[in-house]
Amino acid sequence: MIRPVLLITTVLLFVFSGTLAAQDAATDTVPPKFAVQWLTLEEAETLHRDTPKNFLFMVYNEDCTFCKKMTKETLSDSSVVEKINTQFYPVRFTMAKAGQFFISSLLVNIFSAHNFPAMFFFSDNFQPITNTSGYHTIEQFKPYLIYAGDTKYFQNMGFDDFKKTWESIQSSKNSKKS
C-alpha cells in the first residue's frame, strides 16, 4: 500500500509535469495589492522553477456559503493577502470543473478534509506541511499561514504545538493591552 504522503507527492509531481489542467487564473476585480493573486497550476509551476516557495492549494465548491464567506472576509484581509502573496504560490481548485475534480478529490480524501473550503499547505519540495478545512476567521487562519510560511516552525515542531505557542503569545499580548 502506498503511503498517503508518497501518493500525494507523486500526484503533485505528475500534475506539475503539465499533464493535468488547472483552473483559469481568478479574474478578481479587487486591486491586486488587496487580493490574493490566485495562479493556475501552470503559472505556479513556472514561477516555482525560478523562485521556489511553498504552495497553498485551496479546494472549494462554487455553491459553498462558507467558501464565499471565507473568501470575502478572511482572504481579503490585507495582512492575510500579503502573507499569501509573498510566501506562497496560491492555487485554487473547484470541485465543479472536470479538469480540477481529480486533484481536488485526491487532496480532500487523502487529508480527510471534511468541510469546504479546504486549504492544503505544501513545502517548496512538495512535502505536506499542514491542512485545514472549513471556515476560519482572520485570527483563526493566521497561525496556519505563519506556520506553513516559515520553514523554521514546521521543521522543528508539529502544528498543534505551534498553535499552543501561538495562542499563548496572543493571550499574553492581549493581557498587556488591557
pLDDT exceeds cutoff 90 at 4? no
Q: How confident is the model at residue 33 (pLDDT cuts 50, 70, 90)?
A: low
Higher pLDDT, 175 or 86: 86
pLDDT score for 21: 44
Angle, in degrees to the nearest 10, between helices 98-110 and 4-14 = 160
**pLDDT range class, residue 12, cuts 50, 70, 90:** low
Torsion of CA 114, 116, 121, 126, to 10 degrees: 70
135 grid coordinates: 471556515
Domains of the chain: 4-177 (3.40.30.10)
Question: Helix or strand or coil: residue 118?
Answer: strand
pLDDT, tens only, 53-112: 999 999 999 999 999 999 999 999 999 999 999 999 999 999 888 778 888 888 988 888
User: How far is residue 110's CA from residue 8's CA, in Å, rounded to a whole number?
Assistant: 8
Calpha distance 8→10 (Å, rounded): 5
Sorted by sequence, the CB contacts under 8 Å of residue 173 that are 6+ apart come out as none
DSSP state of 117: S
**This prediction's pTM:** 0.79
Q: Which parts of the chain fold into alpha helices (H)?
A: 4-14, 41-50, 65-73, 78-87, 98-110, 138-149, 151-156, 159-177
